[in-house]
Structure 1
Amino acid sequence: MSPAGPDDTPDTFGERLHGAFGRFGRLCVGIDPHSWLLTDWNLPDNADGAESFGRQVVAAAAGRAGIIKPQVAFFERFGSAGYLALERVLADARAAGLLVIADVKRGDLGTSVEAYGQAWLSQGSPLEVDAITVNPYMGVGSLASTVELAADARKGLFFLAATSNREAADLQQAILGHGAHAGRSVAASVLDEVGAINADRASGGSLGSVGVVLGATVSLPDFGIDITAPAAAVLTPVLAPGFGHQGANPADLASLFGGYAQGVIVSESRSVLSAGPARVADEITRRVTEAGATRG
């Protein structure tokens, strides 16, 4: 994880992401200490077990993959001890030079969402990461302060847009009846607004620092997203869960994401983690190799 401060880090998140693609390909290793995975790894289902699990995955990913994604909920379930465990996992990731996307899905208003951003994106915070997932369903504009903070700190954001859970489809596919995005689906309007943010903040890099979450197991046209649209000058990055265990294949990136394919982060968790502690490093290497054709 690169330092955040403008005086310390010349690269934006988008530039660092592009660099990770070039060095290691597009694989993002999830760190999800489910109860059953801790049991399979012969670890206790408590904060100590989650910490050991997370730190072992970081060690296995270092030098093999460029990106990790801790699912914060699996640490938060252990309360303050879980957050301390997560802080130690993140410290290891920083030391290893991994790009870290925290899956926190924060969304709120005013000073509340500003405080969430400060917790995860401020340089020196114990929870400092390179990017976080955010929930825009109080309006993309409700996250304006977090967008500003991320830009100032050269960090990244990923807005939920078209997720793979069935419960989201009615909302995300709904057509807006008025406003600037009338006639567009909710998912497409999020993508439109994120694209506009990247265009406004273009810094010469080919990959923006603000991205979207698009499930790899859904049909994006069903969500009103035109994947044949010509690529923008600054490409919006896509965090794409659904590869591996859930069935999506990195070889299908072009057909799944069309013009957005070159910015896709291939996120895998269970398909890698279920290999167990003795084999997880080899599994990461294998999955990186399988996704080799998707390198930037």
Structure 2
Amino acid sequence: MTASEPAPFGDRLAAAFGTYGHLCIGIDPHEYLLKEWGLPLSAVGAHEFGLRVIEACAGRVGIVKPQVAFYERFGSIGYRVLEEVLVEARAAGLVVIADVKRGDLGSTLEAYAEAWLSPGSPLEADAMTISAYQGFGALEAPLRFAETSGKGLMVLSATSNPEATAVQTSIIQRESQAGKTVAGGIASRVADWNAAHHDGQQLGSIGVVMGATIDFEDVGIDLDELARGPAAPILAPGFGYQGADFSQVRSIFGVTAGQVIVTASRSILSAGSEGIRDAIDRQVAQVAEAYA
């Protein structure tokens, strides 16, 4: 890496882990949360909500994950305030993962990557969630774009919703991943990409989304593959409100625990505007204890 090249996303994520630990806070202005926080169900309310969450997170955690859908529902003004939330989060030194879950192919998917990962873009984030269910090969353009711009991708592999089981446990019939489940094949391709493109990094810049409530053996994911260097970051929803206990991160993720982004939103956001700082501090301490 030269002086003009951006630091890889994996390096920035590793630095956040080292300074603040593994906790990531979702910025999810659900309708009921806006009401509980005394904010209007509007872009104005979502804007204020996001700024308050960022203020509470700064100096306490290193990673946030705005859920774009809760801003998108307000149309163009929703995107306008989201732009400000993203700018403020990055200005606060937070690693920002835009939870957009875009999935397409070719130039369309490349355009999504340009929107969310371009340096200087109004929607610039450090990484974005993305779907590979049109085939991992369809991610070629965003993978290359992320590599050259120092950004990250978090690829959906094993999501926690039960409706996904039939698809994610289907067996691949072709190519090098034949015999693997769809979920396992995606995880394996991510591991292969990091090995080929991020050699020498502690963490690769391409990761996977794997719910903490999933039995990874049942869905055919080999954790050892994801742990081999450079390790693939694992964005792990499912802690707190969805049922996984923060203290179980090592028992759930085994050899990959050190690369897990421990994600929580409603379990912390429900503490309200006045209680969110204390809730974050408690959760940071609990996650730190789990890693001790």
Which of the numbers 103, 117, 125 marks the counterpart of 2:121? 125
In structure 2, relative to structure 1, the CA distance for the partners of 1:254 and 1:66 (3 Å cut) is same
Structure 2 unmatched ranges of 5 or more: none
* Residue 95 (structure 2) aligns with: 99
Matched residues in 2 for 1:130 and 1:217: separation? 26
CA distance in 2, matches of 1:294, 1:131: 26
Offset at residue 69 of structure 1 (A) = 0.2
- Please report the TM-score for the alignment, with normalisation by the length of structure 2: 0.96
2:235 pairs with 1:239: yes
Match of 1:218 in 2: 214
Structure 1 pair 230–161 and aligned structure 2 pair: CA distance change class (3 A):
closer
1:153-186 deviation per Cα after TM superposition (whole angstroms, max 9, x unaligned) = 1100000000000110000011112321111000
**TM-align CA RMSD:** 1.6
Residues 229 and 259, structure 1, Cα contact 8 Å, conserved in 2 = no
Q: For 1:17-166, list aligned pairs within 5 A.
A: 17-166=13-162
Query: How many residues are paired up?
Result: 292
Contact 1:26 1:294 in 2 (8 A): no
Equivalent position SS for 2:175: coil
Aligned partners of 1:62, 1:295: CA distance in 2, in Å?
21
Distance 2:57 2:40 in 1: 22
**Kept after mapping to 2: 8 A contact 1:228/1:258:** no
- What is the distance in 2 between the residues matched to 1:98 and 1:184? 36
Q: Flag the 1:294–1:121 CA change in 2: closer, same or farther, 3 A.
A: farther
Secondary structure of 1:145's counterpart equals helix
What is the one-letter code of the residue matched to 2:17? F
Partners of 2:183 and 2:221 within 8 A in 1: yes
Shift in Å at residue 76 of structure 1?
A: 0.1
Q: Is contact 1:120-1:127 (8 Å) kept?
A: yes
Task: Name the CA distance, whole Å, in 1 between partners of 2:45 and 2:97.
Answer: 21
What is the rounded CA distance, in whole Å, between the counterparts of 2:227 and 2:145 in structure 1? 27
1:185/1:282 CA distance change after superposition, 3 Å: same
Instruction: Determine the C-alpha separation between the residues in 1 that align with 2:181 and 2:20.
Output: 35
Moved over 6 A (4+): none
Secondary structure in structure 2 of the residue aligned to 1:133: strand
Aligned twin of 2:187:
191
| Structure 1: unaligned runs, 5 residues or longer | none
Mark the CA change 1:6 to 1:140 in structure 2 (over 3 Å): closer, same or farther: farther
Determine the C-alpha separation between the residues in 1 that align with 2:5 and 2:271: 35
Which amino acid is the alignment partner of residue 119 of structure 1? A
TM-score normalized by structure 1?
Answer: 0.95
